[in-house]
Amino acid sequence: MYNIQKVDLQNWQEIPILRQYVDDLPDKPYCSYIKNFCEIRAKKCAIERVYIQPNPPVRVNYIVIDIDHPNGIHAALYDADLPPPHLIIQNPENAHVHLVYKLKHPVYMWGKAKAKHIRYLARVEYGMVRKLGADASYGGNLMKNPLSDVWNTYTTTAPLEGYTLKYLAQFVNLDYLPSDQEAANDQGFGRNCTLFDQTRVHGYNESTASYDALVKLLTPIAENYNNQFDVPLFGNEVMHIVRSIARYCTRTDFTASHQRFSETQSIRSQRRWGDSTDTQKQALQMYAKGVKKTAI
């Protein structure tokens, strides 16, 4: 059994996890008094709003999961066989909740980011959503502000230092997780992976351009992909992705490293499938003679 305790928001500064949460917020987070609208405000003003942006665009400190049914607290603490969340923010009118899990080691989305870490984060989050019966379309842009008296906020026995992704992954059914190649288009951090993968190929094709030229070229492309999501990423998150791709493509060793990557992929493919050179030649000859691609 996990003990939970309702927070007295008049003295929230005395609650270690809430102090840590506020310290980790962006300096100027998106925030709002109502759904479907947001504005940027300084942190000291934003923490007075009803909804708030939980993570800075460059890193993820917290996994936030949205449960749109009245059994959310029981699901989080007993049914799902997951570690307890650090914070539970409940709507008193319908008992819907946001669950907040602090990460021991933040996952950097761009700059210091590594793609495998972002994909791992997306997969773990996906598995947690499935186990909790949570809203898979929740984008995590804005969450119920745990400091707002509109909500009931609870703390649990979760460790203040947070959970590692490796630890959380032990509780997730791996059969439910999408592979790294599958796009989790409208689900949590899967959008970041998908947007990066869709946009970067356009940058690779223009790798001789300058950094500024690439940013100018890739921005509308990334925005177009982003607008196809049910819940688009914030504009500053899109720009971080674009700038990350532009920085990589304008590195002096980009052509050489990209060539090495292609050669590595080719070697891996040959190890798995064998050398297909002769097969490719045969297919081209058949196509030249008018054989349909489906038949080939």
Paired strand residues for 111: none
Q: Which two tokens stand for residue 62?
A: 């917290």
pLDDT of residue 271: 61
pTM for the full predicted model:
0.71
- Give per-residue burial for 242-262: e unless 16+ CB within 10 Å, then b: bbbbbbbbbeeebeeeeeeee
- Partners of 30 in the β-ladder: 40
Residues of the chain predicted below pLDDT 50: 1, 177, 180-185
The predicted pLDDT at position 18 comes to 97
Please tell me the predicted confidence (pLDDT) of residue 181.
47
Per-residue pLDDT at 183 = 46
Whether 275 and 252 have beta carbons less than 8 Å apart is answered as no
- Evaluate whether 3 touches 154 at the Cβ level (below 8 Å): no
At 95, the amino acid letter reads A
152 forms bridges with which residues in the sheet? 90
* Local structure of 83: helix, strand or coil: coil
Residue in the block written with tokens 């609870």: 154
Residue type, 93: E
Q: Name 80's bridge partners.
A: none
Go through the domains of the chain in sequence order and give each one's CATH number: 5-176 (no CATH), 190-249 (1.10.340.50), 256-288 (no CATH)
